[in-house]
């Protein structure tokens, strides 16, 4: 889903609030119609590029500004899609990435001291 420049952030915000408040008009079985100007039809990978450009305009210019990313997100339903979208965006950044190692547990640590 994207916010069309003609729609504006406030109208999009109000649309989401109406959904949350249960006041947005529904159709069969409480389904909500997303306005056409908020939809990017999936044709191929170019559709993903269109979405990225809409959500992250001028990505290469703002890539080192953490605040630029703070109020933006692309949501999806499966981790495999998340990985694909993240990798697509990362490949568009002008700087080389840094990979950090992480862990969820430590072998043989019976006291959880990590």
pTM over 0.85: no
| Model pLDDT for residues 55-102, shown as the tens digit of each residue | 999 998 998 888 998 888 888 889 999 999 999 999 998 877 778 887
Q: Do residues 4 and 38 lie in contact, with contact meaning Cβ atoms separated by under 8 Å?
A: yes
pLDDT of residue 97: 73
Q: Are 59 and 89 in contact (CB under 8 A)?
A: yes
Q: Find, among 79, 77, 58, 78, the residue nearest to 69 by Cα.
A: 58
pLDDT in tens, 2-40: 444 444 678 888 999 999 998 999 988 789 988 888 788
Would you say the C-alpha torsion 6, 21, 72, 81 has a positive or negative sign?
Answer: negative
Q: Report residue 46 CA to chain centroid gap.
A: 16
């Amino acid at each position: 889903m994207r916010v069309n420049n003609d729609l504006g952030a406030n109208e999009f915000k109000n649309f989401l609030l109406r959904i949350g408040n249960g006041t947005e008009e529904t159709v069969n079985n409480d389904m909500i119609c997303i306005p056409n100007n908020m939809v990017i039809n999936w044709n191929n990978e170019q559709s993903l590029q269109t979405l990225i450009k809409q959500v992250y305009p001028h990505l290469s210019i703002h890539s080192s500004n953490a605040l630029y990313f703070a109020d933006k997100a692309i949501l999806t339903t499966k981790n495999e899609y998340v990985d694909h979208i993240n990798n697509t965006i990362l490949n568009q950044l002008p700087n080389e990435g840094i990979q950090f190692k992480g862990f969820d547990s430590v072998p043989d640590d019976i006291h959880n001291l990590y």
